[in-house]
């Protein structure tokens, strides 16, 4: 089925001028970018977005990092978008990511791993709602 998934181009990738590189990979893979903006998350945005990780040892550093600079938030649409994006992203830790994936090719570390993609359709709906109004999503 045609699905929408939520994507973040993280601070490390924005800082290294990789927005275009990542968008080109997304479009080449068949995703339509149906919503997109450059923003900087507030502390409360990040704590809410990463709520499921609250209490984990990396939660504090994750919030610090994700609020440290501008990011690109986007909604990607494609057939089977959730799984398809996870596949081209590669494993969370770039050391474990398959050759040719975004994280293998571009990421710096487990934290500075360049991009985020929703892990399920229900996460995608929740995550999209954290940053976009329905009127900002251009899907036919
Ligand atoms: P992502 O899956 O996009 O969202 C949660 C992020 O937490 C994850 O990417 C990693 O960048 C980051 N992170 C840092 N340390 C860990 C860890 N030990 N396990 C999982 N995620 C981690």
Q: How far is the CA of 31 from the centre of ligand 1 (A)?
A: 24
Q: Mean pLDDT in each 10-residue stretch from start to end of the chain (140 residues)?
A: 98 98 98 98 98 97 98 98 98 98 98 98 98 95
Rounded distance between C-alpha atoms, residue 74 and residue 124, angstroms: 11
Residue burial 19-55, b: 16+ Cβ < 10 Å; e: rest:
bebbbebbeeeebbebbbeeeebeeebbbebbeeeee
Rounded distance between C-alpha atoms, residue 105 and residue 112, angstroms: 13
For the chain, the 3-state helix, strand and coil shares in percent, each to the nearest 5, are 45, 20, 35
Catalytic residue among 18, 116, 118, 124: 116
Atom of ligand 1 nearest to the CA of 113: 11
| Ligand 1: residue whose CA is nearest its atom 14 | 111
Q: How far is the CA of 92 from the centre of ligand 1 (A)?
A: 6
* Confidence (pLDDT) at 140: 73
Rounded distance between C-alpha atoms, residue 37 and residue 6, angstroms: 12
- The highest-level CATH class for domain 2-136 is alpha beta
Widest CA span of the chain, in angstroms? 42
| Ligand 1: residue whose CA is nearest its atom 4 | 116
Q: ipTM value, please give it.
A: 0.93
Active site residue 104: no
Q: How far is the CA of 140 from the centre of ligand 1 (A)?
A: 33
* Confidence (pLDDT) at 126: 98
Rounded distance between C-alpha atoms, residue 107 and residue 127, angstroms: 22
């Amino acid at each position: 089925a045609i699905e929408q998934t939520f994507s973040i181009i993280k601070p490390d990738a924005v800082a290294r001028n990789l927005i275009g590189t990542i968008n080109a990979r997304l479009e080449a893979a068949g995703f339509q970018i149906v919503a997109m903006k450059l923003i900087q998350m507030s502390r409360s945005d990040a704590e809410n977005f990463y709520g499921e990780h609250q209490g984990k040892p990396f939660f504090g550093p994750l919030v610090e990092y994700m609020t440290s600079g501008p990011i690109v938030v986007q909604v990607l649409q494609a057939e089977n978008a959730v799984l398809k994006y996870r596949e081209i992203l590669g494993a969370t830790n770039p050391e474990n990511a398959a050759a040719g994936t975004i994280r293998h090719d571009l990421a710096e570390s487990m934290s500075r791993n360049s991009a985020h993609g929703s892990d399920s359709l229900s996460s995608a709906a929740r995550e999209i709602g954290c940053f976009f109004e329905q009127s900002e999503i251009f899907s036919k």
